[in-house]
A = this chain, B = another copy of it.
Amino acid sequence: MRNSPQNSKITMAHGSGGKLMHDLIKKLFLQKFDNPILSSLSDSAIINLNGNPIAFTTDSYVVNPIFFPGGDIGKLAVCGTINDLAVVGANPLYLSCSVVIEEGFEYELLEKIIDSMKVTAEKAGVEIVTGDTKVVERGKGDKIFINTSGIGIIEKEDLSVENIKVGDRIILNGSIGEHGIAILSERAELGLDVNIESDCAPLNDLIQSVIKISNKVKFMRDPTRGGLATVLNEIVENRNFGIILEEEKILVKEEVKAVCEILGFDPLYIANEGKVVIIAGAEDAEKIVEVMRRHPLGKDTHIIGEIVDEPKGLVCMKTRSGGTRIVDMLVGEQLPRIC
């Protein structure tokens, strides 16, 4: 990276969830802050406090626009961090809230955002217990950035890519791409007239309902930046197995499809904020789907694919037309600042 002059400056793609971001994280952060907890590159770190396994995670939210159909930056900041805790098997308990506000930002909007954080946190059963406020000069920020970090107690241990076996099923709780397209549709310059709401939601309750009834859950992840395709590629990377998806089981709402077609996007790479990928033993897959469908956030749950022996390290998809295609990792920038 340091030897390629075209990469000597940070670009938008370094934050888009694709390959460039992963390279940056691996070549810089992981190498410098070298420790096994960080290197696991899990959605949350799992640390040991006096013998108790605790999940700890952080995310800065820079979404633009800050208000969008189905949510706002405050709701997103609470849900995103809750979800990062929930997918590692933790019961999310406490959040921090640190804001960087641009000078001149309307007090009324700040209040609206804080209200939204409050309501979302209450619904999800977490408390915001510590915070920080910074203000930067006009033109040195963009309205508001929010960092939330979170702590939860691990209730389901040993979730790991290492546990995944050929034959395991891949379960997803509904249709994809709504968050990214909702954000995009709000960007004035595009002049899109669509009506798609972000799927932004706290998944801790849905996930706990699964953990409660099955001990065959191997691994979970929320397909946010980079979308479903990126998460699945991260799972198979350098592994002794691959993934085969069934296109017809991966739901995409008509309006999301339409916008993607206009703009040349693939919904597989569009961010979600209320979806979870669960990889579980085949024997429990149907039972898990059943329980998830009973939850308001899991009504459209499907088994979307399975773990296969070959081709190793690749995500493939059986298309509706009967063919098979490789679902590769996103290289650069697709949609900037969607979270």
Binding site for B on A (CB under 8 A): 1-2, 7-16, 21, 24-25, 28-29, 32-33, 35, 37-38, 44-45, 47, 49-50, 52, 54, 56-62, 64, 93-94, 96-108, 110-111, 114-115, 117-118, 121, 127-137, 139-142, 145, 147, 149, 151, 153, 336-337
Contact = CB atoms under 8 A, between A and B. Distances in A.
Nearest to A141: B141
A145 to B, nearest CB: 6
Number of copies: 2
Contact of A54 (B12, B49, B98, B131): B49
Contacts of A97: 29, 33, 58
Given A97-B29, A101-B15, A114-B29, A44 B10 contact: no
Contacts of A137: 12, 142, 336-337
B121 A9 contact: no
A134 B37 contact: no
A198 to B, nearest CB: 18
Contacts of A21: 133
A337 B131 contact: no
Given A60-B132, A129-B38, A10 B98 contact: no
B33 A96 contact: no
A127 B130 CA distance: 20
Closest 9 CB pairs between A and B?
A: A15-B135, A149-B149, A58-B96, A45-B129, A45-B130, A147-B147, A140-B142, A33-B128, A37-B129
